[in-house]
C-alpha cells in the first residue's frame, strides 16, 4: 500500500477499511489494544470514550460508553474472539451489554508490516447485506468507520 493511502471497500455484508500508517506494527497494535491509547482516539469524530472495564484477552469483554457530540451516551460491549499480538484482533460487538443487540457485528483488525510502517485493515462483518444497510442508515456506520480509522491515524501521528 502506498504511504498515506486509504481505501474503503463495501462487499455485500462487509465493509473493509485499508490504511497505511507510518509507525511500527508493535505501536499500531498497542494503540488498538491498550486502555490508555483507546481512550485517546476510539470512535468517530466528536466522540469521547469512558471504559468501565477492559479484559484484553481471548474471550475477554470490553465494556465502554461512547459519548456523542450530541450529548447522548452510547453503551457498548465488545467480546474479543481471537487476539494474536501484533498481527490481529478479532472481536464481536455485543450491543449495549444490557440485552439490546441493536448493533451486532464482527470486526477483524489486521496489522501487516509494510516497509517502515504498517498496513491496517479493519473489516466489519454484518449478519447480512440488509443488516449492514440498516445499521448504516440508522447510525452512519460506514462514514463512522472512516472517521474511526482516521482518528486512529491522527492519534498515531502524536506518538511518533
Query: What is the per-residue pLDDT for 103?
Result: 78
Domain span holding position 33: 6-159
From first CA to last CA, the distance across the chain in angstroms is 20
In a domain, residue 90? The reply is: yes
In a domain, residue 1? The reply is: no
Query: What is the per-residue pLDDT for 1?
Result: 40
Query: What is the per-residue pLDDT for 139?
Result: 86
Query: What is the per-residue pLDDT for 6?
Result: 79
9-21 pLDDT tens trace: 999 999 999 999 9
> Which stretches of the chain drop beneath a pLDDT of 50?
1-4
In a domain, residue 41? The reply is: yes
Backbone angles phi, psi at 66, to 5 degrees: -95, 125
Query: What is the per-residue pLDDT for 100?
Result: 57
Query: What is the per-residue pLDDT for 37?
Result: 97
In a domain, residue 49? The reply is: yes
Query: What is the per-residue pLDDT for 97?
Result: 57
In a domain, residue 47? The reply is: yes
Query: What is the per-residue pLDDT for 99?
Result: 54
Query: What is the per-residue pLDDT for 2?
Result: 40
In a domain, residue 106? The reply is: yes
What is the number of structural domains in the chain?
A: 1
Query: What is the per-residue pLDDT for 106?
Result: 96
In a domain, residue 104? The reply is: yes
CATH of the domain at 110: 3.30.530.20
Query: What is the per-residue pLDDT for 34?
Result: 94
Q: How many CB atoms neighbour CB 109 within 10 A?
A: 22
Spatial CA neighbour of 144 closest among 75, 80, 68, 89? 68
Strands of the sheet with 6-11, listed across from one edge: 6-11, 14-21, 117-126, 105-114, 88-93, 73-84, 61-67, 48-54
pTM higher than 0.75? yes
Amino acid at each position: 500500500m502506498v504511504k498515506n493511502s486509504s481505501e474503503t471497500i463495501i462487499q455485500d455484508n462487509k465493509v473493509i477499511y485499508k490504511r497505511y500508517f507510518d509507525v511500527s506494527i508493535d505501536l499500531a497494535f498497542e494503540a488498538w489494544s491498550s486502555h490508555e491509547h483507546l481512550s485517546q482516539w476510539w470512535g468517530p469524530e466528536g466522540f469521547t470514550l469512558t471504559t468501565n472495564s477492559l479484559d484484553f484477552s481471548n474471550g475477554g469483554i470490553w465494556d465502554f460508553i461512547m459519548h456523542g457530540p450530541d450529548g447522548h451516551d452510547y453503551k457498548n460491549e465488545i467480546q474479543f474472539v481471537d487476539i494474536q499480538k501484533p498481527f490481529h484482533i478479532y472481536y464481536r460487538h455485543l450491543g449495549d451489554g444490557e440485552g439490546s443487540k441493536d448493533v451486532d457485528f464482527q470486526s477483524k483488525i489486521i496489522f501487516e508490516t509494510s516497509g517502515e510502517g504498517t498496513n491496517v485493515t479493519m473489516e466489519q462483518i454484518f449478519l447480512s447485506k440488509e443488516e449492514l444497510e440498516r445499521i448504516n442508515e440508522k447510525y452512519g456506520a460506514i462514514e463512522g468507520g472512516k472517521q474511526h480509522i482516521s482518528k486512529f491515524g491522527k492519534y498515531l501521528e502524536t506518538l511518533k
